[in-house]
Amino acid sequence: MSELRYDPIQGRWVIIATDRSRRPHDLLMNHRPAHKVRFCPFCPGNEARTPPEIVALSGSDPTGGGARGWQVRIVPNKYPALSVEGNLERSGKGLYDFMRGVGAHEVVIDSPDHEADFASLPVDHLTMLLGAYQDRQRDLYRDRRLQYVLVFKNHGAEAGATLPHPHSQIIATPIIPRTVVVELQQAQAHYQQKRRCLFCDVLNEELDRDERIVKASEHFVVFAPYASRFPFELMIIPRQHAHLMSSASPVAMKDLAACLRDACRRIKQLLDDPAYNIVFHTAPNTQAFDTPGHYWHTLPEDYHWHVEILPRLTRIAGFENGTDFYINPTAPESAAHYLRELPGGD
């Protein structure tokens, strides 16, 4: 029989359709053909074909040949969803609200290697990349017009990637996205009632049950959420409570890099390299102009930053769009079992 499961973090019910339970091979979709591009603006040597870089990080040659060229490069998006220039000019339009499209939209070129992905990049390189994410979050939060910074990665055409070269994106918005608002409200309500972090309680429950854990490292735990929206959805939560991703230590970031690579390798091996999204949820900018100070009184105690990996193995259709219910044909316990049984990614 199918089950209805409640997600306490998003305040949402999910249908786990166990009557039509799917094994990994039943979920394999026909991937869209690889992007056919004659010219890649993200490859080394084509730097002049992108907007001027915000930052470029270089690394040392592991063969002892000295410094190499850039290893991570961040540039403004050539076709930004939001632009840094101007004032918000928030106003009412009768019943509606209006503000100018002020924000930031950046492209992070993950690697000079056109064929690389999170499953193949060395841990040290991924650590450098995660450090770049942290630096950009810290810098963008200095702009008091911006209330939130989302780091995300689209892997594969079905997940929204428009260029095959490995890259991530950073979008800073003058409002807090609805998904994050719900997380904040759920976390705050839980803390007010129990004086405990909701995410820490979820993490402790998962560790106690141990049936949805995929990997547990010194600093992070990778697990399939109890009310997973998608087959083989994963969440990565720091063991140590912290509300800001940018506050994590280099040692923790190296551990996260290893966990991310391991998770992506398992998904790639088991599911034939599906499309997926990775999103990094952190706390909002408490120094933004429009942020009421009293609202964030318990934020450092009640919110907990985390990472979500969302494989695109099923399609969202009318029922999901009409109800905000998701139907997941693979129980997260089964997903965790299949992923956990694979050889480790290290």
pLDDT digits (tens, 9 = 90+) for 93-110: 888 888 889 999 999 999
pLDDT per position as a tens digit, 180-208: 999 999 999 999 999 999 999 999 999 99
- Whether 27 and 154 have beta carbons less than 8 Å apart is answered as no
Q: How many residues does the chain have?
A: 346
pLDDT per position as a tens digit, 252-264: 999 999 999 999 9
- Whether 310 and 232 have beta carbons less than 8 Å apart is answered as no
Residue 330 CA to residue 335 CA, distance in Å, equals 7
- Whether 286 and 294 have beta carbons less than 8 Å apart is answered as no
Q: Above 80 in pLDDT, residue 60?
A: no
Domains of the chain, by residue range, sit at 3-22+44-340
3-state secondary structure of 174: coil
Q: Please identify, in words, the CATH class of the domain defined by 3-22+44-340.
A: alpha beta
3-state secondary structure of 220: strand
Residue 34 is predicted with a pLDDT of 52
**Residue 165 — very low, low, confident or very high, per pLDDT cuts 50/70/90?**
very high
- Of 94-98, 166-170, 250-254, 266-270, give the lowest mean pLDDT range: 94-98
Q: Which of 101, 124, 99, 102 is nearest to 111 (CA)?
A: 124
- Whether 273 and 155 have beta carbons less than 8 Å apart is answered as no
- Whether 233 and 279 have beta carbons less than 8 Å apart is answered as no
Residue 36 is predicted with a pLDDT of 61
Residue 11 CA to residue 186 CA, distance in Å, equals 7
